[in-house]
Structure 1
Amino acid sequence: MTATPNKTAIITGASAGLGLECATALLASDPTWHVVFAVRDVARGAHAVEQAGHPARCTVLEMDLASLTSVHAFADDFRGRGLPPLHAIVCNAGLQVVSGTEHTAEGVEMTFGVNHLGHFALVRDLLADLAHPARILVVASGTHDPAKTTGMPAPRYTRAADLAHPADDEPVDGRRRYTTSKLCNVLYAYELDRRLGCGANGVTVNAFDPGLMPGSGLARDYSAIGRWAWRYLFPLLRVLPNVNSTRASGARLAALVCDPRFDHVTGSYIEGKRPIASSTDSYDLEKALDLWETSEQLLERTDHQDQPGEPRGRAAK
């Protein structure tokens, strides 16, 4: 007898790369999960569903993390679909912008806006919809930790307001903006976990380091030679520690969604299959509070532009 799905997981950026591999592994490992592919391009999302298999247990919904209006619309659309209860949110989608400065629909610097703020808004909007027990996963990166040799510049966190709206005369360093956004991911995961009671209220929150994944779409804004090297040369590095295929990392991320051995793991930074220490700055409570409060302020500006009525979602207190 075929099991009926009784749990839903939302995976952002599920049309390719790590997100698609996570969805594929989750669908294959447990027939009780229904997966929502939260994607910018629904046509690509539909193709991804075909690749993942099990289309009857998949739903494709449009969401652009570079538009808070789109994130809010996604949450409303999700609620109206009558899907199984929501038990997992995987904040996976991310980008690097190295060719200049781009902005979200709300005028926020793009890397910070997509990698952090869009996911902050998504989780805030859906917290009240989570069925307990639930898991929230935030995909981070080892590049957030300057103590690791990653070939990337160290993060530079001053204030979240500076990240959202860099000064016009600030030198553009897209790779540093990326590593700083990954620090924000870890700061956010830890702060959200604290505000949700460190697992005591039925919701666990963890940050996940998938390792270096050559061949993924993260280098799409690189130069032509950089993209070629990322696709053809960097995969040769997989013999090194924590250099992985998207399939291997996707399977590990799926395990964090559904494997019972992670039932009570929360507030952790997980590299591959095991919790490890994250960077010194990631445990800075002042930075975490600054990031949280600034993120709420940025969302409030968008809320005030919506029609009068009840506020969207429910923020963790």
Structure 2
Amino acid sequence: MNDRTVIITGANAGLGLECARSILERDESWHVVLAVRDPRRGEAAVTELGATQRCTVMRCDLGSLASVGEFVEAFAAAGLPPLHAVVCNAGLQVVDGTQRTADGVEMTFGVNHLGHFALVRGLLEHLEAPARIVVVSSGTHDPAKFTGMPKPVYTSAEDLAHPSTPGEGRRLYTTSKLCNVLFAYELDRRLEQGARGITVTAFDPGLMPGSGLAREYGPLLKFVWDYVFPVLRVLPNVNSARGSGRRLAALAVDTSFEGVTGAYFEGAKAIRSSEDSYDATKALDLWTTSEQLVGS
């Protein structure tokens, strides 16, 4: 019997889909809400999962604050089991040029951070303790690690939301992943580090060849991503979506992580995140600007 609900953004494919699959397989008490931009793809994912009675597809376009607000209202009215977990998984990488959300915010920052910020803020009153929030970040947020990606550059959240010059897409991505960790830590502080019964963790799924992040790469890079990188899975933190999905699901629902909060996980292991991710001044700037951008 379903008596708890988990919301997973971007759950129609890749890491989000595998996280949903793992939760459904490991515990029959969970009902999964697939929060997706395209409900048709969400319904196809539910068919693949083979659990139509335990899944609900709801539209949530993280590139539109109006859509996020509509999702929160629809969830509150849906009569689903109590909400006990939120997995902020969806993300994108814009390789070339500058794209903007429906609200005029740079797309990578808008989807990877701001949309999730608005979603979590809207869902807090619906979360029932004990509850967990898991924010998917990336090891690329840490310049001390060699990832092959440009180092993140955080000047201010306003600069990220409304850049004055076109940004390098991959650097915008790594900086948005730093924002994910800054947001997770600041949210944890504001929720009194678990004292309210809500825990917050950040998660690095590792390099996942074949994931949708390469969809805008050129032909050569896409070939390397899809066919060369999978051979490297013997290396540390190079994972399949299925494997990382299981670890993400565990952070969201497994009893072994009960009470764990304010931590950053590389797979199943808690490690230190980047030095900048612990910068409380940057975290406050990100939070304050995000509140202004979402109008609260």
Q: TM (normalized to structure 1)?
A: 0.92
The question of 1:182 aligning with 2:158 is answered no
Q: Which residue of 2 aligns with 1:306?
A: none
CA distance in 1, matches of 2:278, 2:75: 33
Letter in 2 for 1:280: E
CA distance in 2, matches of 1:119, 1:265: 21
CA distance in 2, matches of 1:291, 1:252: 28
Q: Which residue of 2 aligns with 1:89?
A: 86
Quick one: which of 114, 134, 139 aligns to 1:137?
134
Residue 109 of structure 1: how far off its partner (Å): 0.1
Q: Is residue 209–residue 229 contact of structure 2 (8 Å, CA) maintained in 1?
A: yes
CA distance in 1, matches of 2:73, 2:8: 16
Quick one: which of 125, 128, 144 aligns to 1:128?
125
Q: Is residue 64–residue 102 contact of structure 2 (8 Å, CA) maintained in 1?
A: yes
Residue 172 of structure 1: how far off its partner (Å): 2.6
Residue 53 of structure 1: how far off its partner (Å): 2.2
Q: Is residue 10–residue 88 contact of structure 1 (8 Å, CA) maintained in 2?
A: yes
Residue 223 of structure 1: how far off its partner (Å): 1.1
Quick one: which of 113, 117, 130 aligns to 1:116?
113
Counterparts of 1:34-183 in structure 2 under 5 Å?
34-167=31-164, 170-183=165-178
Letter in 2 for 1:79: A
Quick one: which of 189, 197, 202 aligns to 1:202?
197
| Runs of 4+ that moved beyond 6 A | none
Quick one: which of 231, 234, 254 aligns to 1:236?
231
Letter in 1 for 2:114: L
Quick one: which of 260, 270, 279 aligns to 1:284?
279
Letter in 1 for 2:237: N
CA distance in 2, matches of 1:85, 1:152: 40
Letter in 2 for 1:69: A
Letter in 2 for 1:15: N
Q: Secondary structure at the match of 2:260?
A: coil
CA RMSD of aligned residues (A): 0.8
Q: Which residue of 2 aligns with 1:215?
A: 210
The question of 1:24 aligning with 2:26 is answered no
CA distance in 2, matches of 1:52, 1:100: 36
Cα distance per residue 1:154-210 (max 9 Å; x no partner): 00000000000000xx25300000000000000000000000010011000000000
CA distance in 1, matches of 2:272, 2:49: 33
Q: Is residue 186–residue 284 contact of structure 2 (8 Å, CA) maintained in 1?
A: yes
CA distance in 1, matches of 2:14, 2:215: 12
Q: Is residue 141–residue 210 contact of structure 1 (8 Å, CA) maintained in 2?
A: yes
CA distance in 2, matches of 1:246, 1:54: 20
CA distance in 2, matches of 1:74, 1:280: 35
The question of 1:298 aligning with 2:293 is answered yes
Q: Is residue 132–residue 198 contact of structure 2 (8 Å, CA) maintained in 1?
A: yes
CA distance in 1, matches of 2:218, 2:287: 34
Q: Which residue of 2 aligns with 1:313?
A: none
Residue 234 of structure 1: how far off its partner (Å): 1.2
CA distance in 1, matches of 2:49, 2:213: 20
Q: Is residue 97–residue 166 contact of structure 2 (8 Å, CA) maintained in 1?
A: no
Structure 2: gaps (5+ residues): none
Letter in 1 for 2:171: R
Letter in 2 for 1:269: Y
Q: Aligned pairs, how many?
A: 296
CA distance in 1, matches of 2:177, 2:16: 17
Q: Is residue 24–residue 53 contact of structure 1 (8 Å, CA) maintained in 2?
A: no
